[in-house]
Amino acid sequence: MLKMRKEVDFLVIGSGVAGLCFALKAANYGKVCIVTKSKIDEGSTRFAQGGIASVVYQPDSYEKHIQDTMVAGAELSDKHIVELTIREATARVMELVEWGVDFDKNKDGKFALAKEGGHSEYRVLHHKDMTGAEIEEKLILAAKKNTNIEIYENKIAVDIITQHHLGVEVTRRSTDITCYGAYVFNPDTNQVDTVLAKITMMATGGIGMVYEHTTNPLVATGDGIAMVYRAKGAVRGMEFVQFHPTSLYNPKESPSFLITEAMRGAGAILKDANGVSFMEKYDERGSLAPRDIVARAIDSEMKRQGVDHVYLDTTVIKKQEIFEHFPNIYAKCLSIGIDITKEMIPVVPVAHYSCGGIQTDEWGATSIRNLYASGECASTGLHGANRLASNSLLEALVFSHRACLKSVESLPSLSFCHEVPDWNSDGTVLNEEMVLITQSRKELQTIMSAYVGIVRSNLRLQRAFDRLDILYRETEDLYKKSILNPEICELRNMINVGYLIIRHAMSRKESRGLHYSLDYPPYKQ
């Protein structure tokens, strides 16, 4: 079968809120192709329960939201980025409403706002406990109706195309790297297609699958971050991996089911194995302290008592509120025999969100020309050392909008690079050793969970690095010899991401935000 060559004005890699928002806006200026490696609705956006933070009503204010974000980020957030994001948030949220997103409202017609950990005011807009699914559904409907948007499902981007593929040497110190599109593997034809684009948007989501247990979907293998790193683009802050404090303790299930922080905002209390509230020992904000503090506190209590989980007491919430605001969580827990109106929920911290990623400027532009990034795969400077709850969807909306504004300015002056060669698979053979890929993936997840989790040390990080180096060399050797398949592409990306997390963690000689080391004292704000 012949390989396909395609030319589009905008190539969007990823189909979550970041990719879809950019695509819908960019479609006003040219042809858009969305590449997504699974079905269009399989990204992390669909799993976002809590909501989206935005200043809507007084007594809340931009200043309060800015301050809450800076405090949660352990003062590593970029103040300029925080200010512009928070101030532009309200307009972006109202665009969602125009696209048909149905946020919950009170009887008086005003938005029903929730309060989550680290927030000083009620400012989280939500759709019951399925906010991400509601947003995703409405954006997908809009995208499918748009004749300027073409959707490529079940296709995996292998690498972005740069001068390197034209035979030009590119190093990490290069200041003129340019993106011309991406090579995309099509499992239906077993061929690698060439998609040339004037503008490329990386919106591939998270990295949770590098750990054994995560709330992220199976597709969250850090593909975008790994592709940009291999292309010699700038990546930062990968040591800051957020572990959500409260996932449902159900070891046989993957991915882990999230118990939204909004339940604690509604009054639920964390308790130990003896039913005793413990968060007050760790932070005056109790169960509503920022996520890094709560996750470490739970980890400490589990180790102190020698147990596999703690509990979230939701029986203090009125039944009607649970039925109205948390129907999905109620149904899920009931399906495994737990009535949360009468019983406590067993919970445990799991990998949830990457605060680091592809470095961008205030317009979502990366260090590689004509390449933008938005959503969880990007590091805009908003989150710093720890993301404030419900700031993630907000960030994606703001920077996808800004990236579109900036990219369309340069669009008229850009052209396609027809010198880009087709993907070269000479010398590769069909590899039957799938066990090597699946086993290496398990080894990686075990290494990262054991040594690069909530609590780290120099010794643990060095041990992880040494073991990952072996996996890296074995996998690269297999990759060079094998005909491509999605599994080996994902494994390469996961190993690249694991390496970056370890390397960045080794470079940070302090305990700050989500990076906590036994060898360094905690950062004091």
pLDDT tens digits, residue range 165-178?
A: 988 888 888 888 99
**What sign results for the dihedral spanned by CA atoms 26, 52, 120, 455?**
negative
CA distances from 268 to 288, 297, 299, 313, 451 (A): 10, 16, 19, 5, 31
492 is catalytic: no
Residue 44 has pLDDT above 80, yes or no: no
**pLDDT 10s digits, 216-260:** 999 999 999 999 999 999 999 999 999 999 999 998 888 899 998
When the pLDDT of each residue in the chain is averaged and rounded to a whole number, the result is: 93
Residue 1 has pLDDT above 60, yes or no: no
The share of the chain scoring above pLDDT 70, in percent, equals 98
Task: Band the pLDDT of 523: cuts 50, 70, 90.
Answer: confident
b/e code 132-144 from CB counts within 10 Å (16+ = b): bbbbbbbbbebbe
Q: Which residue is catalytic, options 291, 402, 441, 467?
A: 291
- What local confidence, expressed as pLDDT, does residue 171 receive? 87
- What local confidence, expressed as pLDDT, does residue 4 receive? 87
270 close to 280: Cβ distance less than 8 angstroms:
no
- Rounded to the nearest angstrom, the gap between the alpha carbon of residue 514 and the centroid of all alpha carbons in its chain is 15
Residue 2 has pLDDT above 70, yes or no: no
pTM for the full predicted model: 0.92
Topology annotation, domain 434-507: Methane Monooxygenase Hydroxylase; Chain G, domain 1 (1.20.58)
The mean pLDDT value for 192-208 works out to: 97
Q: What are phi and psi of 286, to 5 degrees?
A: 60, -135
Same fold, 246-349 and 434-507: no
- For the domain covering 5-240+355-413, report its CATH number: 3.50.50.60
Q: State the Cα–Cα distance between residues 104 and 48, nearest whole angstrom.
A: 15
- What local confidence, expressed as pLDDT, does residue 525 receive? 65
254 close to 47: Cβ distance less than 8 angstroms:
no
The mean pLDDT value for 134-155 works out to: 95
CA distances from 233 to 155, 163, 176, 251, 266 (A): 23, 13, 11, 37, 42
Domain ranges of the chain: 5-240+355-413, 246-349, 434-507
- For the domain covering 246-349, report its CATH number: 3.90.700.10
